[in-house]
Amino acid sequence: MKTIKGVKISPGIAIGPTFFFKRDQFPIPENRIQASNVDKEIARFQQAISKAAAELLQVRKLVLEHLDEDHAKMIDGQLMILSDPELISLVGQYVRQDNRNVVWAFFEVLSSYEKILQETDGYQKDRAVDLRDVKRRVIYHLSVDDAYLTPNLKEPAIYVSDRISPSDLIHIKDQGALGIISQIGGVDSHVGILARAFRLPYISHITNIEEVLACPEIVLDADNEEIVLNLSNENRKIYDERARQHELLNQKLLSAKLVSSSLDGVPFRVLLNIGFVQELKVIRPQSVPGIGLFRTEFLSIERNAIPNEEEQFIAYRDTLQAMKGRPVTFRTFDFGRDKLMAMLDLEVMHRDIAFEEWGGIRFCLDNPEILQTQLRAFLRASIYGPARLMLPMVTRIEDVLEVKKMIEIIKFRDRFPLGVMIETKLALDILEPLAGMVDFFSVGTNDLALYLIGVKRDEDLAKNYYHPIIFRSIHKIVQAADRFSLPVTICGEMASDPFALVGLVALGIRSVSVNYSAFHAVSDEIRNIRILETLTLKKQLLQEENAVMLYQLLREFYKNQMCAIPRK
Protein backbone atom coordinates (compact mmCIF):
# COMPACT_ATOMS: atom_id res chain seq x y z
CA MET A 1 0.00 0.00 0.00
CA LYS A 2 1.53 3.28 -1.05
CA THR A 3 0.63 6.63 0.51
CA ILE A 4 1.28 10.20 -0.56
CA LYS A 5 1.31 12.95 2.02
CA GLY A 6 -0.48 16.28 1.63
CA VAL A 7 -2.08 19.02 3.68
CA LYS A 8 -5.58 18.79 5.12
CA ILE A 9 -7.86 21.58 3.94
CA SER A 10 -11.17 19.98 4.83
CA PRO A 11 -11.60 16.88 7.03
CA GLY A 12 -13.17 13.57 6.14
CA ILE A 13 -12.49 10.47 4.14
CA ALA A 14 -13.52 9.44 0.63
CA ILE A 15 -12.96 6.30 -1.42
CA GLY A 16 -13.45 6.18 -5.16
CA PRO A 17 -12.16 6.75 -8.69
CA THR A 18 -10.55 10.04 -9.65
CA PHE A 19 -11.72 12.72 -12.05
CA PHE A 20 -9.03 14.98 -13.50
CA PHE A 21 -9.84 18.51 -14.59
CA LYS A 22 -7.47 20.93 -16.21
CA ARG A 23 -8.90 24.38 -16.65
CA ASP A 24 -6.94 25.26 -19.74
CA GLN A 25 -7.97 22.16 -21.60
CA PHE A 26 -11.30 23.24 -22.95
CA PRO A 27 -13.45 20.32 -23.93
CA ILE A 28 -14.18 21.50 -27.46
CA PRO A 29 -17.09 19.71 -29.09
CA GLU A 30 -15.96 18.80 -32.62
CA ASN A 31 -19.32 18.27 -34.25
CA ARG A 32 -20.68 19.78 -37.46
CA ILE A 33 -23.93 21.69 -37.50
CA GLN A 34 -26.89 21.61 -39.89
CA ALA A 35 -26.68 24.21 -42.67
CA SER A 36 -30.00 25.63 -41.46
CA ASN A 37 -28.38 26.46 -38.10
CA VAL A 38 -25.47 28.46 -39.46
CA ASP A 39 -27.07 31.88 -38.92
CA LYS A 40 -28.08 30.95 -35.41
CA GLU A 41 -24.53 29.82 -34.69
CA ILE A 42 -23.04 33.07 -36.02
CA ALA A 43 -25.51 35.10 -33.94
CA ARG A 44 -24.44 33.12 -30.88
CA PHE A 45 -20.83 34.05 -31.63
CA GLN A 46 -21.69 37.75 -31.95
CA GLN A 47 -23.49 37.66 -28.63
CA ALA A 48 -20.55 35.98 -26.92
CA ILE A 49 -18.16 38.60 -28.35
CA SER A 50 -20.42 41.41 -27.07
CA LYS A 51 -20.65 39.89 -23.61
CA ALA A 52 -16.90 39.42 -23.41
CA ALA A 53 -16.31 43.00 -24.61
CA ALA A 54 -18.78 44.41 -22.07
CA GLU A 55 -16.99 42.56 -19.28
CA LEU A 56 -13.61 43.77 -20.43
CA LEU A 57 -14.83 47.38 -20.62
CA GLN A 58 -16.05 47.07 -17.05
CA VAL A 59 -12.67 45.70 -15.98
CA ARG A 60 -10.94 48.51 -17.89
CA LYS A 61 -13.04 51.09 -16.07
CA LEU A 62 -12.14 49.61 -12.71
CA VAL A 63 -8.45 49.37 -13.54
CA LEU A 64 -8.40 52.95 -14.77
CA GLU A 65 -10.15 54.25 -11.68
CA HIS A 66 -7.82 52.49 -9.30
CA LEU A 67 -4.57 52.25 -11.16
CA ASP A 68 -3.66 54.17 -14.25
CA GLU A 69 -3.92 54.35 -18.00
CA ASP A 70 -0.86 52.11 -18.44
CA HIS A 71 -2.50 49.22 -16.65
CA ALA A 72 -5.79 49.89 -18.42
CA LYS A 73 -3.97 49.50 -21.73
CA MET A 74 -3.40 45.85 -20.93
CA ILE A 75 -7.12 45.40 -21.38
CA ASP A 76 -7.10 47.33 -24.67
CA GLY A 77 -5.01 44.56 -26.21
CA GLN A 78 -7.76 42.10 -25.44
CA LEU A 79 -10.49 44.40 -26.72
CA MET A 80 -8.59 44.75 -29.98
CA ILE A 81 -8.46 40.99 -30.40
CA LEU A 82 -12.20 40.82 -29.88
CA SER A 83 -12.93 43.38 -32.59
CA ASP A 84 -10.37 42.09 -35.09
CA PRO A 85 -12.28 41.86 -38.42
CA GLU A 86 -9.99 39.13 -39.75
CA LEU A 87 -10.67 36.95 -36.75
CA ILE A 88 -14.41 37.44 -36.99
CA SER A 89 -14.44 36.71 -40.69
CA LEU A 90 -12.27 33.58 -40.31
CA VAL A 91 -14.55 32.15 -37.63
CA GLY A 92 -17.53 32.93 -39.88
CA GLN A 93 -15.87 31.07 -42.76
CA TYR A 94 -15.23 27.97 -40.65
CA VAL A 95 -18.87 27.93 -39.62
CA ARG A 96 -20.42 28.72 -43.02
CA GLN A 97 -18.10 26.69 -45.24
CA ASP A 98 -17.16 23.79 -42.98
CA ASN A 99 -20.31 23.68 -40.88
CA ARG A 100 -18.20 23.52 -37.74
CA ASN A 101 -19.89 24.52 -34.52
CA VAL A 102 -18.78 27.96 -33.46
CA VAL A 103 -16.89 26.87 -30.31
CA TRP A 104 -14.75 24.61 -32.42
CA ALA A 105 -14.30 27.25 -35.12
CA PHE A 106 -13.33 29.97 -32.64
CA PHE A 107 -10.99 27.64 -30.78
CA GLU A 108 -9.19 26.66 -34.00
CA VAL A 109 -8.71 30.25 -35.14
CA LEU A 110 -7.49 31.47 -31.75
CA SER A 111 -5.18 28.50 -31.32
CA SER A 112 -3.53 29.19 -34.67
CA TYR A 113 -3.01 32.85 -33.62
CA GLU A 114 -1.63 31.71 -30.29
CA LYS A 115 0.86 29.39 -31.97
CA ILE A 116 2.16 32.21 -34.17
CA LEU A 117 2.58 34.52 -31.17
CA GLN A 118 4.38 31.92 -29.14
CA GLU A 119 6.92 31.49 -31.87
CA THR A 120 7.80 35.21 -31.82
CA ASP A 121 9.97 37.02 -29.27
CA GLY A 122 9.47 39.70 -26.61
CA TYR A 123 6.40 41.88 -26.62
CA GLN A 124 4.48 39.84 -29.15
CA LYS A 125 4.99 36.72 -27.07
CA ASP A 126 3.39 38.46 -24.08
CA ARG A 127 0.29 38.96 -26.13
CA ALA A 128 -0.30 35.21 -26.06
CA VAL A 129 -1.50 35.72 -22.47
CA ASP A 130 -4.10 38.23 -23.69
CA LEU A 131 -5.13 35.84 -26.38
CA ARG A 132 -5.61 33.02 -23.91
CA ASP A 133 -7.70 35.26 -21.68
CA VAL A 134 -9.89 36.25 -24.62
CA LYS A 135 -10.16 32.64 -25.76
CA ARG A 136 -11.28 31.49 -22.36
CA ARG A 137 -13.72 34.35 -21.91
CA VAL A 138 -15.46 33.95 -25.28
CA ILE A 139 -15.58 30.17 -25.05
CA TYR A 140 -17.06 30.58 -21.63
CA HIS A 141 -19.90 32.69 -23.00
CA LEU A 142 -20.40 30.33 -25.91
CA SER A 143 -20.46 27.35 -23.65
CA VAL A 144 -22.06 28.51 -20.49
CA ASP A 145 -25.37 26.79 -21.21
CA ASP A 146 -23.68 23.52 -21.99
CA ALA A 147 -21.16 23.94 -19.20
CA TYR A 148 -18.23 23.02 -21.48
CA LEU A 149 -15.94 25.06 -19.37
CA THR A 150 -16.87 23.68 -16.05
CA PRO A 151 -15.92 20.29 -14.71
CA ASN A 152 -18.47 17.68 -15.54
CA LEU A 153 -18.35 14.62 -13.32
CA LYS A 154 -20.22 11.75 -14.90
CA GLU A 155 -20.14 9.55 -11.81
CA PRO A 156 -19.25 10.09 -8.15
CA ALA A 157 -15.49 10.64 -8.08
CA ILE A 158 -12.64 12.40 -6.29
CA TYR A 159 -11.85 15.62 -8.11
CA VAL A 160 -8.16 16.10 -8.92
CA SER A 161 -6.66 19.29 -10.35
CA ASP A 162 -3.72 21.65 -10.10
CA ARG A 163 -6.03 24.09 -8.30
CA ILE A 164 -9.75 24.48 -7.81
CA SER A 165 -11.75 27.68 -8.06
CA PRO A 166 -14.80 28.41 -5.91
CA SER A 167 -17.07 28.18 -8.95
CA ASP A 168 -15.63 24.76 -9.88
CA LEU A 169 -16.34 23.60 -6.36
CA ILE A 170 -19.95 24.72 -6.58
CA HIS A 171 -20.36 22.72 -9.77
CA ILE A 172 -18.72 19.51 -8.61
CA LYS A 173 -20.54 19.44 -5.31
CA ASP A 174 -23.82 19.23 -7.21
CA GLN A 175 -22.38 16.54 -9.48
CA GLY A 176 -21.64 14.16 -6.61
CA ALA A 177 -17.95 14.88 -5.96
CA LEU A 178 -16.60 12.70 -3.15
CA GLY A 179 -13.62 14.87 -2.29
CA ILE A 180 -10.91 17.14 -3.67
CA ILE A 181 -7.17 16.84 -4.31
CA SER A 182 -5.16 19.76 -5.63
CA GLN A 183 -1.58 20.87 -6.03
CA ILE A 184 -2.16 24.40 -4.76
CA GLY A 185 -4.64 25.55 -2.12
CA GLY A 186 -4.51 27.01 1.40
CA VAL A 187 -6.42 26.26 4.56
CA ASP A 188 -7.93 29.74 4.83
CA SER A 189 -8.61 30.12 1.11
CA HIS A 190 -12.21 30.70 0.13
CA VAL A 191 -12.34 27.41 -1.63
CA GLY A 192 -11.15 25.77 1.61
CA ILE A 193 -13.93 27.49 3.52
CA LEU A 194 -16.43 26.25 0.94
CA ALA A 195 -15.14 22.67 1.02
CA ARG A 196 -15.56 22.61 4.78
CA ALA A 197 -19.02 24.17 4.55
CA PHE A 198 -20.10 21.46 2.13
CA ARG A 199 -18.25 18.78 4.09
CA LEU A 200 -16.13 17.68 1.14
CA PRO A 201 -12.83 16.11 2.26
CA TYR A 202 -9.96 18.04 0.67
CA ILE A 203 -6.17 17.63 0.60
CA SER A 204 -3.81 20.05 -1.15
CA HIS A 205 -0.07 20.28 -1.83
CA ILE A 206 0.00 17.00 -3.73
CA THR A 207 2.81 17.25 -6.26
CA ASN A 208 2.75 13.82 -7.91
CA ILE A 209 -0.72 14.01 -9.34
CA GLU A 210 0.16 11.61 -12.19
CA GLU A 211 0.72 8.82 -9.70
CA VAL A 212 -2.68 9.48 -8.14
CA LEU A 213 -4.38 9.47 -11.52
CA ALA A 214 -2.77 6.18 -12.50
CA CYS A 215 -4.81 4.33 -9.84
CA PRO A 216 -8.34 3.19 -10.67
CA GLU A 217 -9.40 3.79 -7.08
CA ILE A 218 -7.86 5.75 -4.21
CA VAL A 219 -8.55 6.71 -0.61
CA LEU A 220 -8.55 10.40 0.19
CA ASP A 221 -7.86 10.35 3.91
CA ALA A 222 -7.94 14.03 4.78
CA ASP A 223 -8.02 13.38 8.52
CA ASN A 224 -4.57 11.78 8.28
CA GLU A 225 -3.43 14.13 5.51
CA GLU A 226 -2.68 11.31 3.06
CA ILE A 227 -3.79 9.64 -0.12
CA VAL A 228 -3.70 5.88 -0.22
CA LEU A 229 -2.94 4.26 -3.56
CA ASN A 230 -3.22 0.51 -4.34
CA LEU A 231 -5.73 -0.31 -1.67
CA SER A 232 -5.65 -3.94 -0.51
CA ASN A 233 -8.88 -5.81 0.19
CA GLU A 234 -8.02 -6.06 3.83
CA ASN A 235 -7.37 -2.33 4.19
CA ARG A 236 -10.40 -1.54 2.16
CA LYS A 237 -12.62 -2.86 4.95
CA ILE A 238 -10.93 -0.58 7.46
CA TYR A 239 -11.35 2.49 5.26
CA ASP A 240 -14.95 1.60 4.41
CA GLU A 241 -15.70 1.45 8.10
CA ARG A 242 -14.01 4.81 8.73
CA ALA A 243 -15.98 6.39 5.89
CA ARG A 244 -19.17 4.97 7.41
CA GLN A 245 -18.27 6.39 10.84
CA HIS A 246 -17.60 9.76 9.26
CA GLU A 247 -21.02 9.76 7.65
CA LEU A 248 -22.63 8.75 10.94
CA LEU A 249 -20.89 11.62 12.68
CA ASN A 250 -22.23 14.03 10.05
CA GLN A 251 -25.73 12.70 10.63
CA LYS A 252 -25.32 13.01 14.39
CA LEU A 253 -24.18 16.59 14.02
CA LEU A 254 -27.37 17.38 12.17
CA SER A 255 -29.39 16.61 15.25
CA ALA A 256 -27.26 18.60 17.71
CA LYS A 257 -28.90 21.03 20.11
CA LEU A 258 -28.48 24.77 20.41
CA VAL A 259 -25.83 25.99 22.85
CA SER A 260 -26.53 29.20 24.74
CA SER A 261 -24.09 29.12 27.64
CA SER A 262 -20.89 27.53 28.93
CA LEU A 263 -20.70 24.73 31.50
CA ASP A 264 -20.56 27.33 34.28
CA GLY A 265 -23.54 29.22 32.91
CA VAL A 266 -21.85 32.17 31.13
CA PRO A 267 -24.02 33.19 28.15
CA PHE A 268 -22.33 32.46 24.83
CA ARG A 269 -23.45 32.39 21.21
CA VAL A 270 -22.11 30.17 18.47
CA LEU A 271 -23.35 31.58 15.16
CA LEU A 272 -22.98 30.23 11.64
CA ASN A 273 -21.04 31.56 8.62
CA ILE A 274 -22.58 30.91 5.24
CA GLY A 275 -22.04 31.93 1.64
CA PHE A 276 -24.96 30.23 -0.05
CA VAL A 277 -28.61 29.90 0.76
CA GLN A 278 -28.36 26.17 -0.08
CA GLU A 279 -26.16 25.66 2.97
CA LEU A 280 -29.22 26.18 5.10
CA LYS A 281 -30.65 22.94 3.76
CA VAL A 282 -28.15 20.91 5.77
CA ILE A 283 -28.78 22.62 9.10
CA ARG A 284 -31.63 22.62 11.54
CA PRO A 285 -32.46 26.29 12.17
CA GLN A 286 -33.47 25.34 15.75
CA SER A 287 -29.83 24.48 16.52
CA VAL A 288 -28.42 27.75 15.16
CA PRO A 289 -29.05 31.01 17.01
CA GLY A 290 -28.30 33.07 13.91
CA ILE A 291 -26.09 33.69 10.90
CA GLY A 292 -23.08 35.71 12.06
CA LEU A 293 -21.65 36.17 8.57
CA PHE A 294 -23.29 35.81 5.19
CA ARG A 295 -20.50 36.22 2.62
CA THR A 296 -22.72 37.78 -0.04
CA GLU A 297 -19.95 37.96 -2.64
CA PHE A 298 -20.21 34.17 -2.89
CA LEU A 299 -23.49 34.73 -4.74
CA SER A 300 -21.36 36.17 -7.54
CA ILE A 301 -19.18 33.09 -7.68
CA GLU A 302 -22.23 30.98 -8.40
CA ARG A 303 -23.22 33.20 -11.31
CA ASN A 304 -19.85 34.44 -12.50
CA ALA A 305 -21.33 37.93 -12.31
CA ILE A 306 -22.64 40.26 -9.66
CA PRO A 307 -26.28 39.28 -9.02
CA ASN A 308 -28.93 41.88 -9.83
CA GLU A 309 -31.26 43.42 -7.24
CA GLU A 310 -33.98 40.83 -7.69
CA GLU A 311 -31.57 37.88 -7.42
CA GLN A 312 -30.05 39.36 -4.29
CA PHE A 313 -33.43 40.14 -2.80
CA ILE A 314 -34.54 36.53 -3.28
CA ALA A 315 -31.35 35.14 -1.71
CA TYR A 316 -31.58 37.47 1.30
CA ARG A 317 -35.31 36.94 1.78
CA ASP A 318 -34.98 33.14 1.53
CA THR A 319 -32.22 33.17 4.12
CA LEU A 320 -34.22 35.26 6.56
CA GLN A 321 -37.27 33.05 6.06
CA ALA A 322 -35.24 29.85 6.50
CA MET A 323 -33.84 31.20 9.76
CA LYS A 324 -37.36 31.65 11.15
CA GLY A 325 -36.91 34.83 13.17
CA ARG A 326 -33.24 34.35 14.07
CA PRO A 327 -30.90 37.19 13.09
CA VAL A 328 -28.88 37.13 9.87
CA THR A 329 -25.82 39.35 9.38
CA PHE A 330 -25.38 40.19 5.71
CA ARG A 331 -21.93 41.42 4.84
CA THR A 332 -21.81 43.79 1.88
CA PHE A 333 -19.82 42.42 -1.08
CA ASP A 334 -16.24 41.84 -0.05
CA PHE A 335 -14.40 41.91 -3.34
CA GLY A 336 -10.70 42.06 -2.78
CA ARG A 337 -7.94 41.06 -5.11
CA ASP A 338 -8.36 37.31 -4.65
CA LYS A 339 -12.14 37.31 -4.71
CA LEU A 340 -12.40 39.58 -7.73
CA MET A 341 -9.91 37.51 -9.66
CA ALA A 342 -11.61 34.28 -8.80
CA MET A 343 -14.94 35.70 -9.84
CA LEU A 344 -13.94 37.28 -13.11
CA ASP A 345 -11.40 34.56 -13.84
CA LEU A 346 -8.85 37.11 -14.92
CA GLU A 347 -5.53 35.71 -15.93
CA VAL A 348 -4.36 39.20 -16.80
CA MET A 349 -4.74 40.38 -13.22
CA HIS A 350 -2.16 37.92 -11.99
CA ARG A 351 0.38 40.29 -13.42
CA ASP A 352 1.85 42.50 -10.68
CA ILE A 353 -1.20 44.54 -9.67
CA ALA A 354 -1.64 45.29 -6.00
CA PHE A 355 -5.32 45.34 -5.16
CA GLU A 356 -5.07 44.91 -1.40
CA GLU A 357 -5.82 48.54 -0.73
CA TRP A 358 -8.98 48.35 -2.66
CA GLY A 359 -11.00 45.54 -1.15
CA GLY A 360 -14.22 45.31 0.80
CA ILE A 361 -16.30 48.39 1.41
CA ARG A 362 -13.84 50.64 -0.51
CA PHE A 363 -14.47 48.71 -3.71
CA CYS A 364 -18.22 49.12 -3.21
CA LEU A 365 -18.03 52.81 -2.36
CA ASP A 366 -15.95 53.36 -5.46
CA ASN A 367 -18.62 51.56 -7.46
CA PRO A 368 -21.71 53.12 -5.87
CA GLU A 369 -24.18 51.52 -8.27
CA ILE A 370 -23.12 48.07 -6.99
CA LEU A 371 -23.54 49.11 -3.36
CA GLN A 372 -26.84 50.94 -3.94
CA THR A 373 -28.29 47.87 -5.61
CA GLN A 374 -27.15 45.68 -2.76
CA LEU A 375 -28.56 48.03 -0.13
CA ARG A 376 -31.91 48.17 -1.91
CA ALA A 377 -32.07 44.36 -2.05
CA PHE A 378 -31.08 44.16 1.62
CA LEU A 379 -33.65 46.74 2.73
CA ARG A 380 -36.42 45.08 0.73
CA ALA A 381 -35.58 41.68 2.22
CA SER A 382 -35.18 43.01 5.75
CA ILE A 383 -38.93 42.97 6.36
CA TYR A 384 -38.77 39.15 6.34
CA GLY A 385 -36.72 38.82 9.50
CA PRO A 386 -34.11 40.40 11.77
CA ALA A 387 -31.53 41.48 9.19
CA ARG A 388 -28.22 43.08 10.14
CA LEU A 389 -25.76 44.77 7.82
CA MET A 390 -21.99 44.50 8.12
CA LEU A 391 -19.22 46.35 6.26
CA PRO A 392 -15.99 44.47 5.41
CA MET A 393 -12.41 45.77 5.35
CA VAL A 394 -13.25 49.10 6.93
CA THR A 395 -10.20 51.36 7.09
CA ARG A 396 -11.67 54.87 7.58
CA ILE A 397 -14.45 56.60 9.50
CA GLU A 398 -15.69 57.92 6.16
CA ASP A 399 -16.44 54.35 5.05
CA VAL A 400 -19.22 54.15 7.63
CA LEU A 401 -20.40 57.74 7.12
CA GLU A 402 -20.72 57.30 3.37
CA VAL A 403 -22.67 54.05 3.71
CA LYS A 404 -24.98 55.67 6.25
CA LYS A 405 -25.59 58.54 3.86
CA MET A 406 -26.44 56.12 1.09
CA ILE A 407 -28.81 54.18 3.35
CA GLU A 408 -30.49 57.45 4.35
CA ILE A 409 -31.32 58.20 0.72
CA ILE A 410 -32.87 54.84 -0.14
CA LYS A 411 -34.17 53.91 3.27
CA PHE A 412 -37.72 52.76 3.81
CA ARG A 413 -37.16 51.06 7.11
CA ASP A 414 -36.55 52.70 10.41
CA ARG A 415 -33.56 51.04 11.84
CA PHE A 416 -31.49 47.89 11.62
CA PRO A 417 -28.20 46.97 13.31
CA LEU A 418 -25.16 48.16 11.37
CA GLY A 419 -21.74 46.74 12.17
CA VAL A 420 -18.18 46.79 10.89
CA MET A 421 -15.56 44.14 10.45
CA ILE A 422 -12.31 44.78 12.23
CA GLU A 423 -9.77 43.11 10.00
CA THR A 424 -7.26 45.72 8.85
CA LYS A 425 -4.39 47.45 10.59
CA LEU A 426 -5.97 50.85 10.02
CA ALA A 427 -9.21 49.84 11.73
CA LEU A 428 -7.24 49.01 14.88
CA ASP A 429 -6.25 52.68 15.10
CA ILE A 430 -9.82 54.01 14.96
CA LEU A 431 -11.60 51.51 17.19
CA GLU A 432 -13.25 54.02 19.50
CA PRO A 433 -14.61 56.38 16.85
CA LEU A 434 -15.90 53.35 14.98
CA ALA A 435 -17.47 51.91 18.11
CA GLY A 436 -19.34 55.18 18.60
CA MET A 437 -20.91 54.93 15.15
CA VAL A 438 -22.07 51.31 14.85
CA ASP A 439 -24.02 48.61 16.68
CA PHE A 440 -21.52 45.74 16.61
CA PHE A 441 -17.98 44.68 15.77
CA SER A 442 -17.03 41.47 14.06
CA VAL A 443 -13.37 40.46 13.92
CA GLY A 444 -12.13 38.95 10.66
CA THR A 445 -9.13 37.07 11.93
CA ASN A 446 -8.28 35.65 8.50
CA ASP A 447 -7.55 39.07 7.08
CA LEU A 448 -6.27 40.45 10.37
CA ALA A 449 -3.53 37.79 10.33
CA LEU A 450 -2.81 38.72 6.73
CA TYR A 451 -2.48 42.43 7.49
CA LEU A 452 -0.68 42.13 10.82
CA ILE A 453 1.71 39.32 10.07
CA GLY A 454 1.77 39.39 6.30
CA VAL A 455 0.98 35.76 5.60
CA LYS A 456 -0.82 34.86 2.42
CA ARG A 457 -4.25 33.34 2.95
CA ASP A 458 -4.02 30.97 0.05
CA GLU A 459 -0.51 29.75 0.49
CA ASP A 460 0.71 29.84 4.02
CA LEU A 461 0.07 26.69 5.91
CA ALA A 462 1.17 27.60 9.40
CA LYS A 463 -1.52 28.43 11.92
CA ASN A 464 -1.05 32.14 12.32
CA TYR A 465 -3.55 32.72 15.02
CA TYR A 466 -1.11 31.96 17.79
CA HIS A 467 0.95 35.02 17.03
CA PRO A 468 0.90 37.18 20.21
CA ILE A 469 0.03 40.27 18.18
CA ILE A 470 -3.27 38.71 17.15
CA PHE A 471 -4.33 38.06 20.75
CA ARG A 472 -3.24 41.53 21.82
CA SER A 473 -5.17 43.12 18.98
CA ILE A 474 -8.28 41.18 19.91
CA HIS A 475 -7.88 42.31 23.50
CA LYS A 476 -7.69 45.92 22.30
CA ILE A 477 -10.84 45.42 20.22
CA VAL A 478 -12.74 43.91 23.17
CA GLN A 479 -11.68 46.78 25.45
CA ALA A 480 -12.78 49.47 22.98
CA ALA A 481 -16.08 47.70 22.37
CA ASP A 482 -16.71 47.30 26.12
CA ARG A 483 -16.41 51.04 26.61
CA PHE A 484 -19.34 51.44 24.23
CA SER A 485 -21.18 48.29 25.37
CA LEU A 486 -20.79 46.97 21.86
CA PRO A 487 -21.03 43.22 21.18
CA VAL A 488 -18.01 41.61 19.49
CA THR A 489 -18.10 38.43 17.42
CA ILE A 490 -15.11 36.58 15.98
CA CYS A 491 -15.98 35.36 12.50
CA GLY A 492 -12.62 34.21 11.09
CA GLU A 493 -11.31 30.65 11.06
CA MET A 494 -9.45 31.22 14.33
CA ALA A 495 -12.68 30.65 16.26
CA SER A 496 -12.87 27.09 14.88
CA ASP A 497 -9.48 26.16 16.28
CA PRO A 498 -10.05 24.42 19.64
CA PHE A 499 -7.01 25.86 21.42
CA ALA A 500 -7.31 29.35 19.95
CA LEU A 501 -10.95 29.37 21.02
CA VAL A 502 -9.88 28.96 24.67
CA GLY A 503 -7.70 32.06 24.27
CA LEU A 504 -10.54 34.05 22.71
CA VAL A 505 -12.86 33.12 25.55
CA ALA A 506 -10.18 34.13 28.08
CA LEU A 507 -10.04 37.58 26.46
CA GLY A 508 -13.74 38.08 26.97
CA ILE A 509 -15.16 36.97 23.63
CA ARG A 510 -18.72 35.71 24.13
CA SER A 511 -19.81 35.24 20.54
CA VAL A 512 -18.21 33.49 17.58
CA SER A 513 -19.40 32.72 14.08
CA VAL A 514 -18.00 29.66 12.35
CA ASN A 515 -18.54 27.52 9.26
CA TYR A 516 -20.84 24.57 9.41
CA SER A 517 -18.04 22.00 9.49
CA ALA A 518 -16.82 23.44 12.80
CA PHE A 519 -20.18 24.54 14.16
CA HIS A 520 -21.01 21.52 16.25
CA ALA A 521 -17.48 20.95 17.54
CA VAL A 522 -17.28 24.58 18.67
CA SER A 523 -20.73 24.32 20.26
CA ASP A 524 -19.57 21.23 22.14
CA GLU A 525 -16.44 22.98 23.29
CA ILE A 526 -18.43 25.91 24.67
CA ARG A 527 -20.92 23.56 26.30
CA ASN A 528 -18.03 21.87 28.11
CA ILE A 529 -15.85 24.81 29.04
CA ARG A 530 -15.78 26.61 32.37
CA ILE A 531 -15.38 30.14 31.15
CA LEU A 532 -14.57 31.63 34.54
CA GLU A 533 -11.55 29.33 34.78
CA THR A 534 -10.15 30.64 31.51
CA LEU A 535 -9.84 34.10 33.05
CA THR A 536 -6.72 32.94 34.88
CA LEU A 537 -5.05 32.63 31.47
CA LYS A 538 -5.59 36.18 30.36
CA LYS A 539 -2.55 37.87 31.91
CA GLN A 540 -0.12 35.25 30.67
CA LEU A 541 -1.76 35.26 27.26
CA LEU A 542 -1.20 38.97 26.84
CA GLN A 543 2.37 38.91 28.12
CA GLU A 544 3.61 35.97 26.07
CA GLU A 545 5.98 37.02 23.27
CA ASN A 546 6.40 33.71 21.56
CA ALA A 547 3.80 32.08 19.31
CA VAL A 548 4.94 28.52 20.08
CA MET A 549 4.77 29.14 23.83
CA LEU A 550 1.38 30.71 23.40
CA TYR A 551 0.15 27.69 21.51
CA GLN A 552 1.48 25.37 24.22
CA LEU A 553 -0.12 27.43 26.96
CA LEU A 554 -3.53 27.16 25.32
CA ARG A 555 -3.14 23.52 24.44
CA GLU A 556 -2.19 22.61 28.00
CA PHE A 557 -5.14 24.49 29.36
CA TYR A 558 -7.44 22.79 26.92
CA LYS A 559 -6.13 19.34 27.84
CA ASN A 560 -6.13 19.84 31.59
CA GLN A 561 -9.22 21.81 32.27
CA MET A 562 -11.74 21.00 29.64
CA CYS A 563 -14.06 18.10 29.48
CA ALA A 564 -14.69 18.77 25.80
CA ILE A 565 -15.47 15.87 23.53
CA PRO A 566 -12.23 15.16 21.66
CA ARG A 567 -12.17 16.47 18.14
CA LYS A 568 -10.42 15.31 15.02
Q: Which residues bind ligand PEP (CB under 6 A)?
A: 293, 295, 334, 423, 444-447, 491-492
For 257-268, what is the HEC assignment?
Answer: CCCCECCCCCEC
SS3 513: strand
Burial 426-440 (b: 16+ CB within 10 A, else e): ebbebbeebbeebbb
Nearer Cβ to Mg ion, position 103 or 494?
Answer: 494
CB 391 → Mg ion: shortest distance, Å? Answer: 11
8 Å CB contact between 228 and 218: yes
SS3 180: strand
221: β partners: 13, 226
CB 332 → ligand PEP: shortest distance, Å? Answer: 12
8 Å CB contact between 10 and 195: yes
- The DSSP 8-state label assigned to residue 409 in this structure reads H
Nearer Cβ to ligand PEP, position 8 or 331?
Answer: 331
Of Mg ion, ligand PEP, none, which one sits near residue 399, judging by CB under 5 to 8 A according to partner kind? none
Letters for 352-371 (x = contact with Mg ion by CB under 5 A, - = none) are: --------------------
Rounded CA separation 463/444 (Å): 15
CB 426 → ligand PEP: shortest distance, Å? Answer: 14
CB 425 → ligand PEP: shortest distance, Å? Answer: 13
Nearer Cβ to Mg ion, position 444 or 508?
Answer: 444
Of Mg ion, ligand PEP, none, which one sits near residue 492, judging by CB under 5 to 8 A according to partner kind? ligand PEP
Of ligand PEP, Mg ion, none, which one sits near residue 78, judging by CB under 5 to 8 A according to partner kind? none
C-alpha angle 125-130-133 in degrees, rounded to nearest 5:
135
For 90-132, what is the HEC assignment?
Answer: HHHHHHHHHCECHHHHHHHHHHHHHHHHHCCCHHHHHHHHHHH
CB 369 → ligand PEP: shortest distance, Å? Answer: 23
**Pairing mode, strands 2-5 and 179-182:** unpaired
Nearer Cβ to ligand PEP, position 403 or 443?
Answer: 443
Nearer Cβ to ligand PEP, position 158 or 504?
Answer: 504
Binding to Mg ion (CB under 5 A) within 399-428 occurs at: 423
Closest CA to 243 of 10, 567, 13: 13
Does residue 188 bind Mg ion (CB under 5 A)? no
Rounded CA separation 22/165 (Å): 11
Binding to Mg ion (CB under 5 A) within 435-474 occurs at: 444, 447
**Cα-based distances in Å from 218 to 2, 136, 210, 226, 235:** 10, 32, 13, 11, 12
Closest CA to 381 of 329, 342, 427, 341: 329
CB 322 → Mg ion: shortest distance, Å? Answer: 24
Nearer Cβ to ligand PEP, position 231 or 478?
Answer: 478
CB 193 → ligand PEP: shortest distance, Å? Answer: 7
DSSP 24-58: TS------BPPGGGHHHHHHHHHHHHHHHHHHHHH
Binding to Mg ion (CB under 5 A) within 123-142 occurs at: none
What dihedral angle (degrees, nearest 10) is formed by the CA atoms of 104, 110, 114, 116? 100
CB 293 → ligand PEP: shortest distance, Å? Answer: 6
CB 39 → ligand PEP: shortest distance, Å? Answer: 46
Of ligand PEP, Mg ion, none, which one sits near residue 359, judging by CB under 5 to 8 A according to partner kind? none
208: β partners: none
Of Mg ion, ligand PEP, none, which one sits near residue 295, judging by CB under 5 to 8 A according to partner kind? ligand PEP
Letters for 530-549 (x = contact with Mg ion by CB under 5 A, - = none) are: --------------------
Nearer Cβ to Mg ion, position 94 or 451?
Answer: 451
Nearer Cβ to Mg ion, position 9 or 443?
Answer: 443
CB 512 → ligand PEP: shortest distance, Å? Answer: 11
SS3 207: coil
Nearer Cβ to Mg ion, position 168 or 423?
Answer: 423
Rounded CA separation 54/47 (Å): 11
Of Mg ion, ligand PEP, none, which one sits near residue 395, judging by CB under 5 to 8 A according to partner kind? none
Nearer Cβ to ligand PEP, position 221 or 334?
Answer: 334
With CB under 5 A as the rule, give the number of residues binding Mg ion. 3
Closest CA to 407 of 427, 377, 383, 386: 377
Nearer Cβ to ligand PEP, position 298 or 558?
Answer: 298
CB 393 → ligand PEP: shortest distance, Å? Answer: 8
Of Mg ion, ligand PEP, none, which one sits near residue 445, judging by CB under 5 to 8 A according to partner kind? ligand PEP
In the complex, the residues that contact Mg ion under the rule CB under 5 A are 423, 444, 447
